[in-house]
């Protein structure tokens, strides 16, 4: 508690190596709050600065944080082909409104090995004309991989965009058996 009797926000972070490169994971006492692709030192430092600004506290490296340790275990199992769903507490505080509604539907309604179109996902949250807004939401997803925005594709069969890069999206979809593994 701080001097005013309020619980201070604490943010722990760790970097985990994966088949798609290093991921920065951050967690609060409420759950996993952020996953960041391509967590080189520069990307990590920028992401941690943004988190400090948004959450009002300086993140501390804490790979033993219970949520982070479990997230690392589950991500390792996912990339080893041993896990198809994540069972982690999630802290949704970095996203709200329509974006949160879409991401919650995505997390619970689009299982491993399946994909959904941007427009279909918009329809699932009662906004059938909001395909473009769903695309924007995917780009704002603070919890990629765990909240599987890689499973959202264009209705015409195109792969769509991806904040982690199209090659990362292809690799995640190949891991889930949706696309063939790239030849090289």
| Catalytic residue annotation | 149
Q: Which of 121, 143, 141 is nearest to 131 (CA)?
A: 121
Instruction: Name the E strands within the chain.
Output: 12-16, 23-28, 31-36, 60-61, 116-117, 152-153
How far is residue 66's CA from residue 63's CA, in Å, rounded to a whole number?
Answer: 8
How far is residue 79's CA from residue 138's CA, in Å, rounded to a whole number?
Answer: 21
């Amino acid at each position: 508690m701080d001097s005013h009797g309020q619980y201070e926000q604490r943010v722990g972070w760790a970097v985990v190596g994966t088949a798609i490169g290093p991921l920065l994971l951050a967690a609060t006492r409420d759950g996993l709050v952020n996953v960041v692709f391509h967590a080189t030192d520069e990307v990590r430092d920028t992401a941690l600065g943004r988190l400090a600004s948004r959450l009002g506290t300086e993140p501390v490296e804490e790979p033993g944080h219970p949520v982070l340790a479990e997230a690392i275990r589950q991500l390792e199992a996912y990339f080893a082909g041993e896990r198809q769903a994540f069972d982690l507490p999630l802290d949704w505080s970095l996203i709200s409104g329509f974006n949160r509604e879409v991401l919650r539907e995505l997390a619970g309604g689009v299982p491993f090995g399946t994909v959904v179109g941007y427009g279909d996902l918009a329809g699932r949250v009662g906004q059938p004309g909001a395909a473009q807004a769903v695309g924007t939401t995917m780009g704002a997803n603070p919890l990629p991989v765990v909240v599987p925005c890689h499973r959202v594709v264009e209705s015409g069969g195109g792969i769509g965009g991806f904040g982690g890069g199209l090659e990362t999206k292809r690799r995640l979809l190949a891991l889930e058996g949706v696309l063939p593994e790239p030849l090289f």
